[in-house]
Each structure stands twice: as C-alpha cells, then as structure tokens.
Structure 1
Amino acid sequence: MEHLIKVTDLCKVYNPGENEVRALDHINLKIDRGEFVAIIGQSGSGKSTFMNMLGCLDTPTSGTYFLNGTDVSTMTDNELSAVRNREIGFIFQGFNLIANLTAEENVELPLIYRGIDKKTRRQLAREALEMVGLSHRMNHKPSEMSGGQQQRVAIARAIAAKPPVILADEPTGNLDSASSKEILSILKDLHKGGRTVILITHDDGIAARAKRVVRIMDGKIESDVINPAFDSMEEEHEKGSIEK
C-alpha cells in the first residue's frame, strides 16, 4: 500500500557554503493513512522547517517528498498552492480567522477557492461545525467566541473539504488547559474517524496524546516510536465520551 507521506533524504540548507545552516539534515519519514503522529522538537530543532515542508509551504534543498503519490519537492509556488488547497487542512496556533466573517463563512472560505458551489460548501461547512460542536455558533463572529471556540472553527475550516492530511501546528499554544484538552479530544476523534493527523509541538505532554511520536533534534530525526500509553488513553477517552 502506498504511503500517504514519504520523505526521503530531505535536506534544507540556508546560507550554503562556509556559514551554512542545515535546518534539515537527511530526514527520512513515512506516514500512512489514518495515523496520528506528533512531531516534537524544541526551538531551533528543525521542527518548524519540517512542518513547512510537510505543509507544502516551502521546498527542500535536496531530497524528495511524495504526498498522496505525487512528488511535491520540486513544484513551483503556484503548484504548491494548489496542492495545499487540495491535500492539506491546516490548524494554526493563531486561529487565522477573518474577523468580519461568521464561523460558517470562515469555514466556507477555502471551499470557495476550490470552486465548490454555494449549496455544497454551505452543507460541508455546517457538517464540519457540527462535528466540532459548534452548530449553535455558526452565525457568530470570532470576537463573539472564546479562544477554544475560535480554534474549533479553525478545525472545522481545516476538515470541511475532507483533505487527506490534517496538519496542526501548535494548535493549543494560545489556549488554557481546559480548551487545550477539548481541542486534543477533537483531534483524537478525527483520527478515530479515519483522518490522518500530524501534530507539531514542542510540548512532551501534548505529543503524548498522539499514537506515534517523532522527535527532531539538530535537523535530524532522533527517535520515532509508538506511544505505548495511547491505547489506554483511547479507552479512557471513550469512557469519558460515554459518560457525557
């Protein structure tokens, strides 16, 4: 079976020559459909550069990156933009919602760029907002919602078009502990529903919520392990959902 993501000998070098900086140094990684992977690293580890590569926001100096069967490592900016819109749902730390649009309109916006007709995109937006528990806040603007609710709108926006990859960059970074727990629970539910979730974080506690943890240091993958506690956390999560 073809890997959803296949990265081979990926390098990103800044200032080539005597003072070069190897932000990524021969990275190799495969991620299959339906995985829940945390990529963890401290500031300067190469984690953010790697996220930019996985999100098709930048291209490598060398190496290859196959996303959903397509080599995206040598694409132009316009080609990468089309791939991002089609293949990746982004969830950012800063929400990136448009202030004068309602929750529903914010979720609809990327669907407009995909050329989806008005009736279909409205239905997709409402389904996504319902999935994150915000069907009662569809007509509210960001200023009328809490940080946790705004992040849930951002998640709905990311999943509405059903992209193969959900890429969450420090999604709980601006949230309190209760909202963070809520967001991580939604990501876990997305994974349980068959979505591929890649979580970028610097926090060991957040990474521990994923099934697989990939640690980056000095531009290299230091470790790649299956989280032994994930199944027991999954049982606890299901028990909590039933009790609600």
Structure 2
Amino acid sequence: MDELIEIRNMCKIYNPGENEVRALDHVDLQIDRHEFVAIIGQSGSGKSTLMNMLGCLDVPTSGTYYLNGQDVSHLTDDELSDIRNREIGFIFQGFNLIANMTALENVELPLIYRGVPKKEREELSRTALKKVGLEKRMDHKPSEMSGGQQQRVAIARAIAQAPPVILADEPTGNLDSGSTKEIMGILKELHKEGRTVILITHDNEIAARAKRIIRIMDGKIVADINNDAALA
C-alpha cells in the first residue's frame, strides 16, 4: 500500500476542562494514494473538524498527522499555509470565487501565490478549465455562470497544479440534481486519472458514489467500508 495520509490517535478538544467538547476522540485513519473516499456524518459528528485537520486548516490537540510522509501535526500557521498550497486542492460548497474576476483569473489566483510564472500559470489554468468542460466560459465572471459552472471553475482551480489530494467539502450542497451529477462525474474522472479524492458529506446518496465510505459519529470513526458497488 502507498500511504498518503496517516492519522494516529488524534484528538481535538474545545473548552478543555469540565465543559470540554471532544470534536475528535482518538481517531485513527489511513488513506492510500489514488483512493476515492467519502467521509460522512451528520451535523456535530466531527466530520468538519476532521476535514479541517486533513486540509491543514487546524492542528490537533493531541495525536499525529502524516501527510505525504511529513508530520504536519504541530506546524506553524505559515508552514501549514505552505503545505496547503503544495499538497491540497480544496473544493468548497460555496465555490469561493472572486466576483470581479473571470473564470480564468479565478483559477490562476492560487498559482500566483505559489509563484508560478505567468505563461505557465495561464497554460495550467486553461488546461484545467478545458478538463471540466469550460473552454468557452474562460472569460466569464461568476455572475454570468450557473451554480454548476461556478463549481466547475472551483474544481479547475483545485486541480490546476495537480496537488496530491483533492479535498471536497459538500461540493454539491448548493447544486440542483443535474449539476450534482456533473460534479460527481468530474470527481470520478479525476480519481480515474490517479488523484486522491476525499469527499466530505452528510448525504448517503453522494457518499455511495465513493469507493470507500468512512462514517463518523460523536468524534469517532464508527464504520469504514469498501464500497465495491460505487454508483456510476
């Protein structure tokens, strides 16, 4: 097995003491390269906290997190930001696009922060937008696109520089059924191309499209199953 993510005995505790909340309670988790994993749980289950840990948006109270062989459990904010830039492509429910920028400019923006030269970042961005079927929408601003198209821009932004991990947080939460099918199809194609895709969701039907389903409840992993019958 080629392990990309390893979490050992991770806890995240808020309000330590008498009224403490254990958002994560001694979690162990391994995810290999090229997996397509859904992490499912209801509100308050700990799935959002786990996503923040996986995405290096927060650090645990205790335990360790190895990402691509590096212990990222106790890094500074600047170090975590650098890891996020290099290792993780984020797709959020709310798209997080900049309104006065075109699709191409939105995809290019993280590449500017990474210091990618202008010609290269434009080429990477155009390639990513073509991959999600938006070659004719590159000069359109978010207000000129549907919700599904905006989410495809967000996916292009996440994949432009081929990070090892695609972390999708409720990526279809704001979309209609047709757009949901399109976005899930793109995520499945990315997985087929060899990307590691981690999908955070509360929706059983969405989770059923992943090859592995991890269920979290009260800060603990309560089920971890291989889903050989993943929906097309």
Give the SS at the match of 1:83: helix
Taking a change above 3 Å as real, the CA distance of residues 194 and 116 of structure 1, as seen in their structure-2 partners, is same
In structure 2, the partner of 1:7 is 7
In structure 1, the partner of 2:85 is 85
CA RMSD of aligned residues (A): 0.7
Distance 2:87 2:228 in 1: 30
Alignment of structure 1 residues 45-60 onto 2, 5 Å: 45-60=45-60
Q: Is the 8 A contact 1:2 1:69 kept in 2?
A: no
Alignment of structure 1 residues 124-139 onto 2, 5 Å: 124-139=124-139
Q: Is the 8 A contact 1:44 1:218 kept in 2?
A: yes
In structure 1, the partner of 2:173 is 173
Alignment of structure 1 residues 1-244 onto 2, 5 Å: 1-230=1-230, 233=231, 237=232
**Equivalent residue letter for 1:12:** K
Distance 2:207 2:9 in 1: 24
Shift of 1:3: 1.0
After superposition, give the CA deviation of every residue in 1:34-86 in whole Å (9 maximum; x if it has no partner). 00000000000000000000000000000000001110000011100000011
Structure 1 or 2: more helix by fraction = 1
Distance 2:71 2:149 in 1: 36
Q: Is the 8 A contact 2:148 2:180 kept in 1?
A: yes
TM value normalised by structure 2: 0.99
**Equivalent residue letter for 1:166:** I
- Structure 2 gaps of 5+ residues are none
Give the SS at the match of 1:171: coil
Q: Is the 8 A contact 2:2 2:33 kept in 1?
A: no
Give the SS at the match of 1:137: coil
**Equivalent residue letter for 2:136:** H
Give the SS at the match of 1:60: coil
Shift of 1:2: 4.5
After superposing on structure 2, the runs of 4+ consecutive aligned residues of structure 1 that deviate more than 3 Å are: none
After superposition, give the CA deviation of every residue in 1:99-154 in whole Å (9 maximum; x if it has no partner). 01000000000000010000000000000000000001000000000000000000
- Structure 1 gaps of 5+ residues are 238-244
Distance 1:222 1:196 in 2: 22
After superposition, give the CA deviation of every residue in 1:182-224 in whole Å (9 maximum; x if it has no partner). 0000000000000000000000000001000000000000000
Give the SS at the match of 1:4: strand
Give the SS at the match of 1:57: coil
After superposition, give the CA deviation of every residue in 1:152-178 in whole Å (9 maximum; x if it has no partner). 000000000100000000000000000
> How many aligned residue pairs are there?
232
Structure 1 vs Structure 2: percent identity of aligned residues? 76
Distance 1:52 1:114 in 2: 21
Distance 1:222 1:209 in 2: 19
Distance 1:138 1:35 in 2: 30
**Equivalent residue letter for 1:75:** L
Distance 1:128 1:17 in 2: 48
Shift of 1:228: 2.8
